[in-house]
Amino acid sequence: MNDVAGSELPREIAVLGAGIEIGASQRGTLMGPAALRTAGLLTLLESLGFAVEDHGDLSVAGVAELDDVPPDNCKHYREIQRWIRTLSARAYELAHSGVVPIFIGGDHSLSMGSVNGVARHCRETGRDLFVMWLDAHADYNTPATTITGNMHGMSGAFLCGEPGLDGLLGNEPRASVDSSRLELFGTRSIDKLEKELVRERRISVADMRHIDQFGVGILMRRAIDKVKASNGVLHLSFDVDFLDPDVAPGVGTTVPGGATYREAHLIMEMLHDSGIVRSVDIVELNPFLDVRGRTARAVVELIGSLFGQQITDRPTPTNAIDPDR
């Protein structure tokens, strides 16, 4: 991550599984990492010229529990705390080593650890970290606003420094991302109090109405330009329920009206061309709910586009092709 924004993507990728499933109400994301490997994720990345190291699946066996007082309205807080502390430390180590880390889960609560660790590294290197949240949900609840108490719906708020989970990391350094650098993309389900908090924080939201009205290309260009203007880097947090259930049935929180297969590929292709992505989450894949591996295969194909797979050989665009001109 010591390169400048827009320069060539590092050619080394580290894959780390985090089969956490207790942050959500529907069990089954424990099997997500295995499903992505079975669907050929590592093989595809290697075919694109990357040196891929599989770090296996994270384990929290033997991780000591802390003695802070668990907040109200946070289901499975103590066990999730063990996951997040451990994952944050590993994410920091991987980011610091200069590879592109891909964290495969697992429910979206894992991002509290993965993004925090990457953000800690970026803070030390003086880079602004932006986070693109491809998700049907905003995940910007706090213990005070949540309806369900499921912590996968609090991950975005935690990462932006909202109060309520202040003891989650224990002694692990917390590196919050300013809410101005969080991009919610594809949102189509948000709770009332959560919506008020997102509006109060003036968080950028490209919901499905925006996508329908303006198109993926224009909205992605705006988000990418914001990162480049700050000489920043991007963490892509890809929740599979961002996709329409017809494309990706294997998730526990399906919401109709999501991104099409082609829209999702365009997003990944534009992010690849931008050269700003330096870390990735893939979350909420639930093979127990999938149909013959269809969702896992679609996700692997999309990650292929993110890392440069093309239908036809073409040069990476600079400013040679600009539909706004």
More confident residue, 311 or 217: 217
Catalytic site includes residue 239: yes
- pLDDT of 322 reads 37
Of 21, 194, 284, 290, the catalytic one is 284
DSSP string for residues in 16-44: EEE---TTSSS--GGGHHHHHHHTTHHHH
- pLDDT of 310 reads 84
- pLDDT of 324 reads 40
Whats the size of the chain, residue-wise? 325
What number is the average pLDDT over the span 117-141?
98
Confidence class for position 9, pLDDT limits 50, 70, 90: confident
What number is the average pLDDT over the span 38-49?
98
Of 241, 263, 281, 290, the catalytic one is 241
**Position 316 pLDDT exceeds 60:** no
Neighbouring residues of 313: CB distance < 8 A, sequence distance ≥ 6: none
Confidence class for position 1, pLDDT limits 50, 70, 90: very low
Of 21, 107, 108, 191, the catalytic one is 108
At 76-102, the pLDDT tens digits run: 999 999 999 999 999 999 999 999 999
Catalytic site includes residue 137: yes
Alpha carbons 82 and 62: distance in angstroms, whole number = 10
Query: Around 64, how many Cα atoms within 13 Å sit in the side-chain half-sphere?
Result: 5
- pLDDT of 312 reads 59
Catalytic site includes residue 108: yes
- pLDDT mean across residues, the chain: 93
Of 21, 76, 121, 137, the catalytic one is 137
What number is the average pLDDT over the span 129-147?
98
Catalytic site includes residue 284: yes
Of 21, 76, 121, 152, the catalytic one is 152
Q: Are 291 and 249 in contact (CB under 8 A)?
A: yes
pLDDT-above-90 percentage for the chain:
91
- pLDDT of 86 reads 98
- pLDDT of 281 reads 98
At 264-292, the pLDDT tens digits run: 999 999 999 999 999 999 999 999 999 99
At 193-203, the pLDDT tens digits run: 999 999 999 99
Residue from 246, 213, 235 nearest 283 by CA = 235
What number is the average pLDDT over the span 45-73?
96
Phi-psi label, residue 238: left if phi above 0, alpha if psi -120 to 50, beta otherwise: beta
Confidence class for position 2, pLDDT limits 50, 70, 90: very low
Confidence class for position 248, pLDDT limits 50, 70, 90: very high
Q: Please state, in angstroms and as integers, the Cα–Cα distance from residue 99 to each residue in 12, 57, 249, 276, following that order.
A: 5, 17, 31, 14
Query: Around 56, how many Cα atoms within 13 Å sit in the side-chain half-sphere?
Result: 2
Q: pTM for the whole thing?
A: 0.93
Of 21, 107, 139, 191, the catalytic one is 139
At 177-188, the pLDDT tens digits run: 999 999 999 999
Phi, psi of 82 (to 5 degrees): -65, -40
Confidence class for position 315, pLDDT limits 50, 70, 90: low
**Position 212 pLDDT exceeds 50:** yes
Cis peptide before 161 (omega within 30 of 0): no
- pLDDT of 25 reads 84
Alpha carbons 283 and 251: distance in angstroms, whole number = 9
More confident residue, 310 or 249: 249
Alpha carbons 216 and 232: distance in angstroms, whole number = 21
